[in-house]
Amino acid sequence: MKAAAEAQHRLLTLQAVDTAIAQLDHRRNTLEETTQARTLQAERAHAAERVIEVETRVFDLDAELAKAEADLVPVRERRVRNQQRVQDGSVSDPKALQGLLAEIDHIGRRIGELEDTALDAMQELEDARALAAATVADKAAIEDRMRVVLKAREEKLTAIAAERGRREIERDAIAAALPSELLSLYTRIATKAGGVGAALLRGGRCGGCQLEANASDMNRYRTAAPDEVLRCEDCNRILVRTEASGL
């Protein structure tokens, strides 16, 4: 292929812009904030599950406490009724009175047990509510961190997009000034060679694969016409010759 030396030199400028665009894409895809956001999202999901778990526990304990308090009501009322019967003398039979007093004593013990159960439930409920409040606070803290990270990520993405847009405009201008055949060759090579389609031949070494040309290849490069498009024998990229090529 033939192309003016000036056009071949412009390939290096195009390559520099393409490399810059690729670097911007890499930055966009590997932002630290993206990794942080994913980690925080996982932490938030776990925190949300924990909130549901502890709030369910609060609900259950609240129901247990309500039941314990409800269980006390009829037992206390029965003790009051029995005590009233003893005090008003409505039970005159000694055996019946003895049985009534025994029942009052039994009810007293039962009330003590129920009160202990209610107190235990009340303490558990208080602890569970405190844990629920702390868990909700932990979730809120994670969400606050997420907002900070996502804002920083969005700012960086916006800056990268703006820079990429400028680079795209620059690339279009350079590409428009290149012969279509040369640009097509460059594009095909770049697609297959990791985005690098043209490289500077510097001191006999290819700037693409970094391998040094042998003596035979160097003689061929040296004798080639200025408008001949050279290719690296090792990586097949377009070799652009300048005064730094060592020819």
> Does residue 168 carry a pLDDT above 80?
yes
d(CA 155, CA 93): 91
Per-residue pLDDT band at 82 (split at 50, 70, 90): confident
For the record, the structure tokens of 175 come out as 């590409």
Band the pLDDT of 85: cuts 50, 70, 90.
confident
* pLDDT in the model for residue 93: 80
> Of the CATH numbers 1.20.1270.10, 1.10.220.10, 3.40.640.10, 1.10.287.1700, which one belongs to the domain with range 31-176?
1.10.287.1700
What single-letter amino acid sits at 121?
A
Helices (H) and strands (E) in the chain, counts: 5, 4
* Per-domain residue ranges of the chain: 5-25+179-245, 31-176
pLDDT band, residue 229 (cuts 50/70/90): very high
If you average pLDDT over residues 82-102, what whole number do you get?
A: 83
- 36 pLDDT band, cuts 50/70/90, is very high
| Best CA proximity match to 171, nearest among 159, 186, 158 | 186
Cα distance between residue 183 and residue 196, in whole Å: 13
Percentage of the chain beyond pLDDT 70 is: 100
Residue of higher predicted confidence among 111 and 100: 111
Is it true that 5-25+179-245 and 31-176 share their CATH fold? yes
What CA–CA distance (Å, rounded) separates 55 from 112? 29
Does the pLDDT of residue 247 top 80, yes or no? no
* Interval 107-142: pLDDT, tens: 999 999 999 999 999 999 999 999 999 999 999 999
CATH topology of domain 5-25+179-245: Helix Hairpins (1.10.287)
Query: Which tokens in the block code for residue 18?
Result: 């393409």
pLDDT at 91 exceeding the cut of 80: no
pLDDT band at 92 (very low <50, low <70, confident <90, very high): confident
Contact between 141 and 50 (Cβ < 8 Å): no
Dump the DSSP string for 199-222. EEEETTEETTT-PBP-HHHHHHHH
Report the side by side order of strands in the sheet with 238-241.
Answer: 205-206, 198-202, 238-241, 230-231
Residues found in the chain: 247
pLDDT value of residue 88: 85
pLDDT at 89 over 90: no
